Amino acid sequence: MQISYFTSSYPRATDTFIQREVIGLRASGVDVLTSALRLPEGNNNVSPLILNERKQTTYFLPASPLKLIKLNLSYLARSASKYLKTLKLAFKTRRPGIKGTIYQLFYFQEALLLANYLETNKVEHLHNHFGDSSGMVTMLASQLSGVGYSITFHGPHIFFEPTLLALREKVKYAKFIVCISNYCRSQMMLFSDAEDWHKLKIVHCGVDVNQYPYSPFKSHSTSEIPVKLLYVGRLAAEKGVPVLLRSLITLKNEGHRFHLTLLGDGPERAALETEVKQHGLTQMVHFGGFASQETVRDTLLESDVFILPSFAEGVPVSLMEAMACGVPVIGTNVGGVTELIEHGISGMVVAPSDEVALKSAILCYIQHPELRENVRSAARNTVEKNFNFKVEVGKLEHLIREQVQN
C-alpha cells in the first residue's frame, strides 16, 4: 500500500508527532511518501531525523508558470467536467473578497501540482495534517485525481474560523477525519453535517514510551538547589508564556529559587526576552530555541516541573513526553488537556490566564515533594495506556487500509 503525507511545510522542528507517525507507518510495512508545498526554514534543521526526512520529501514550490499552464490544459483536456467541478468547489469554499478569490486560485494551482504527483506516483490514499490551507489543497487535489483523502484535525486555530476554512466541505469530501481528542471531535461535529459524523474517528497523538525513560525522583530542597522548570513549545501568543513569566516574578519576589528553560522559538520571543530583562529574570530564564527530540528528552530528565500555560490547545504532545518521563506537569483546562491530565492525580490543571493560580500550582509542587512523587507514576501510566504511539499508529493504519481496500 502506497500513501502520501502532505502538509504546507515538512519536516519542522515542532512536528515531531507527524515524523513519528510517518516512521511508525513505514515500520509496519506502509510505503509512505512525504510531500509539502515548501521547504521549512533553516532553523528547523535541529536533528539528523529532520534532515533525513527533508531529503525524502518532495516540494512543489516554487513551480514554473509553464508547468502550471501545461497541467491546467492537461487536466482540462482529460476531463473537462472534473476540472470545472473542482474549480467550482474551489470558488464555493473561498474566503470572501478579492483576496480570498486570488488565494483560492493559488490553492487550485497547488492542487494541480499535488494531483499530478499523486497520479505519477500511483498513490492510493492521501493524508493531511492540520486541515488549514493545506487541507484545502488536499481536498481539491483529491477531486482532481480521484485519490481519497483523510485529514487529522488538531485545533485550536482550525476552530477559530471554521466557516472560512470550509470545515464542513473538508469533512463531506473526505474518506474519514481523524480527531485527536473528544473535544476535537465535538468541535468537528459542531462544524459539519450530522450525516458525516460517522467519518469522525478519534486517534490520539502519542509518544513512544520506550524513547522516554522514567526519570529518578528528585526530592532536593529549593533552598539548596533552584527548582528546574521547563517549557517546550512555540513562543507564540496562544501559549500564554507571559502569564508564566508573571507568576515567576511573584515567586522571585517572595524569595523562591528556580530556573526556567524555554525550548522553542516563535514570533513572541523578542518580546519575552525583553520582559525577562525588565524584571530581572535574566539569570533565572534561559531561551534554548528550537531543539531536537533528543535534546527535549534529555532536558526533561533533568527537570523538576514541566509547565504549559496555554490559552488554547489540542492535546499537547509536549505534555505527554513530560508525563512519560515522570516529570510533574502543570497545564491549563483548555481544549483536550483535561483528557490527558487528571488534576491532582496525574498532574495539575489551572485556569488559563490565571497567573495567581499558576504561581500557586508551581509553589505547591515546590513545597510538597510528596505530591510530585505521587503524580509521577499516574502520569506515566496514563501515557502508556491512552497515548501510546504504537497503539495509535495502529489505529490510523487500520483506517487507511480499510479505505484503500474498499
Q: Can you spell out the DSSP letters for 47-65?
A: SHHHHHHHHHEEE--S--H
Q: How far is CA 303 from CA 60, 98, 231, in A?
A: 41, 51, 10
Residues 10, 18 contacting (CB under 8 angstroms)? yes
Q: What is the pLDDT along the chain (406 residues), one digit of tens a residue?
A: 999 999 999 998 878 889 999 999 999 999 999 999 999 887 777 688 888 899 999 999 999 999 999 999 999 999 999 999 999 999 999 999 999 999 999 999 999 999 999 999 999 999 999 889 999 999 999 999 999 999 999 988 899 999 999 999 999 999 999 999 999 999 999 999 999 999 999 999 999 999 999 977 766 544 568 999 999 999 999 999 999 999 999 999 999 999 999 999 999 999 999 999 999 999 999 999 999 889 999 999 999 999 999 999 999 999 999 999 999 999 999 999 999 999 999 999 999 999 999 999 999 999 998 899 999 999 999 999 999 999 999 999 999 999 998 8
Could you tell me how many residues make up the chain?
406
- Beta sheet of 329-332, edge-to-edge order: 285-289, 258-263, 227-232, 305-307, 329-332, 348-350
Q: Convert 80-118 into a string of H (helix), E (strand) and C (coil).
A: HHHHHHHHHHHHHCCCCHHHHHHHHHHHHHHHHHHHHHH
* Distance (Å, whole) CA 179 – CA 200: 7
316-336 burial, b at 16+ Cβ within 10 Å, e below that, comes to bbbbbbbbbbbbbbbbbebbb
Inter-axis angle of helices 65-78 and 97-120, to 10 degrees?
Answer: 80
CB 129 within 8 A of CB 106: no
Strands (E), 88-199: 125-129, 149-153, 176-179
Q: Are the C-beta atoms of 338 and 330 separated by less than 8 Å?
A: no
In the sheet that holds 200-202, the strands lie side by side as: 57-59, 31-38, 2-9, 125-129, 149-153, 176-179, 200-202
CATH 3.40.50.2000 residue ranges in the chain? 2-206+389-405, 209-386
The answer to whether 239 touches 310, Cβ cutoff 8 Å, is yes
Question: How far is residue 109's CA from residue 128's CA, in Å, rounded to a whole number?
Answer: 18
Q: How far apart are CA 304 and CA 326, in angstroms?
A: 9
The predicted structure's pLDDT at residue 218: 66
Question: Do residues 170 and 135 make contact, with C-beta atoms less than 8 angstroms apart?
Answer: yes
Closest by alpha carbon to 180, among 27, 364, 392, 21?
392
77: enclosing H helix or E strand? helix 65-78
Name the amino acid, one letter, at 34: T
Q: What is the CA radius of gyration of the chain?
A: 23
Task: Give strand pairing partners of 228.
Answer: 259
Cα–Cα distance between 68 and 177 in angstroms, integer? Answer: 30
Are 134 and 107 in contact by the 8 Å Cβ rule? The answer is no
Q: How far is residue 223's CA from residue 255's CA, in Å, rounded to a whole number? A: 9
Which residues are CB-neighbours of 44 under 8 A, at least 6 positions away? 11, 12, 13, 50, 290
What is the pLDDT at residue 135?
A: 97
pTM exceeds 0.85: yes
CATH topology of domain 209-386: Rossmann fold (3.40.50)
Q: Give the type of residue at 74.
A: S
Reply yes or no on domain 2-206+389-405 having CATH 3.40.50.2000.
yes
Cell of 215: 526519570
Indicate the SS3 state at residue 121.
Answer: coil
